[in-house]
Amino acid sequence: MDRFIEFQRFMNLESATDLIDILDQNGIPYEIDDSAVRFDLSATSYNPLEKQIVVKVKEFDFEKASEISPAAVCINFTETEDEHFLYSFSDDDIVNIISNPEEWKPDEVELAKKIAKARSIQLTADKIKSARKGKYEEQKLSEIKRISAVKGGASWFLLIGLLSMVNSVAFIMNQKIFFIFGLGVTRLVDSIIMGPNTEYMVPGLFLNMILSGILVLFWHYARQEKSWAFLTGVIFYGLDTLIFIFLEEWLSAGFHIFVLLIIGAGYYAIQEKNKNLQVMQSDHMQVGSSTDTDAR
């Protein structure tokens, strides 16, 4: 447990200064191994970007050193820098990481800065501003598409409810008008209750108003981006589709399925937003936890 083991690698002694200062301040013994540099200086294969400076700590101090090391220093100890996925990123991608640090982990942002320095990428104000503007426009376009999907799906609930009532009124007035997007259940009420029994016309019409009103209620809450309204509405309209399948009215059934796909897209858009919010909250909690650990 008294032996020194590798804790962190650096490209040069200067980049290891922050870690060495922290170890000194906390009284943690360390060793600096630069033998690889001394050996490679005489070799033709020397690569100045390789991590050749090794900071070692005693085995029983490793956990303590990990806890007090800032996130900027504590990159993944188990992988070399050359193996990190950020090294496969283009220069523009590296600039985007640095320009939008809230979307990345602190250690990834710091590594991106090191990569930018190694590649001599000029981080000018205009370049960073352009990267942030591009990200903002991308997010804005994505949000417009998401809102469009939600509103588009929600609007079908209102349209279905209104067309269902129009179908019922047309049936009472003996008009040969039928909108295929209307509810199958209201059509059954028209045919079974109001058709042969004119005395039940008013109760039948009232029942159809309630059924159509349910769709209007779904529309009201769906446009407020309530997931339950979309999900319940999809189930309700999906069961209604089975009526046309049972009656073998394939055109109406096909259009019902088409509408279900549009409504389902609205539900999916809300779920994607909720998932992204959960990821952002989780990232903020991790960053906060990391900050508290560094403070301690």
pLDDT in tens, 187-208: 888 887 766 666 777 788 888 8
Residue 283 lies in a domain: no
Lowest mean pLDDT across 70-79, 199-208, 214-223, 279-288: 70-79
Tell me, yes or no, whether 146 and 267 share the same domain: yes
Residues in Cβ contact with 260 at an 8 Å cutoff, skipping those fewer than 6 apart: 234, 237, 238, 241
Tell me, yes or no, whether 49 and 171 share the same domain: no
Q: What confidence tier does 80 reach under pLDDT thresholds 50, 70, 90?
A: very low
Residue 90 lies in a domain: no
Q: Is the pLDDT of residue 287 over 60?
A: no
Tell me, yes or no, whether 62 and 161 share the same domain: no
Query: Mean pLDDT, to the nearest integer, of 71-89?
Result: 55
Residue 214 lies in a domain: yes
Nearest CA among 224, 225, 222, 204 for reference residue 214:
222
Tell me, yes or no, whether 255 and 161 share the same domain: yes
Domain count, the chain: 2
Residue 36 lies in a domain: yes
Give the number of other Cβ atoms within 10 Å of residue 248's Cβ.
7
8-state DSSP, 194: I
Tell me, yes or no, whether 144 and 250 share the same domain: yes
Residues in Cβ contact with 269 at an 8 Å cutoff, skipping those fewer than 6 apart: 146, 147, 149, 150, 153
Question: Quick one: tokens of 81?
Answer: 């820098």
Residue 87, CB-side half-sphere exposure with 13 Å CA sphere: 9
Cα(60)–Cα(62) distance, integer angstroms:
6
Point out the domain boundary residue: 69, 97, 122: 69
DSSP states of 210-228: HHHHHHHHHHHHHTTT-HH
Q: In the beta sheet, which residues pair with residue 4?
A: 58
Residue 12 lies in a domain: yes
User: What residues make up the domain containing 241?
Assistant: 140-277
Tell me, yes or no, whether 55 and 147 share the same domain: no
Tell me, yes or no, whether 177 and 49 share the same domain: no
Tell me, yes or no, whether 48 and 164 share the same domain: no
Tell me, yes or no, whether 50 and 163 share the same domain: no
Residue 88 lies in a domain: no
The pLDDT of residue 160 is 93
Give, for 202, the enclosing helix (H) or strand (E).
helix 201-222
Please indicate whether residue 82 or residue 131 has the higher confidence score (pLDDT). 131
Whether 87 contacts 81, CB under 8 Å: yes
Whether 95 contacts 128, CB under 8 Å: yes
The pLDDT of residue 276 is 66
CATH code at position 24: 3.30.70
Point out the domain boundary residue: 20, 47, 69: 69
Nearest CA among 113, 128, 97 for reference residue 15:
113
Q: Is the pLDDT of residue 232 over 90?
A: yes
Q: In the beta sheet, which residues pair with residue 5?
A: 57
Burial of 180 (0-12, 13-18, 19+ CB in 10 A): middle
**Helix locations, 26-86, DSSP H:** 35-40, 62-68
The pLDDT of residue 215 is 92
Tell me, yes or no, whether 57 and 171 share the same domain: no
Cα(4)–Cα(57) distance, integer angstroms:
5
Residue 192 lies in a domain: yes
3-class secondary structure, 56? strand
Whether 111 contacts 74, CB under 8 Å: no
Tell me, yes or no, whether 246 and 151 share the same domain: yes
Task: Tell me if the pTM is above 0.85.
Answer: no
Residue 284 lies in a domain: no
Tell me, yes or no, whether 51 and 145 share the same domain: no
Point out the domain boundary residue: 43, 69, 95: 69
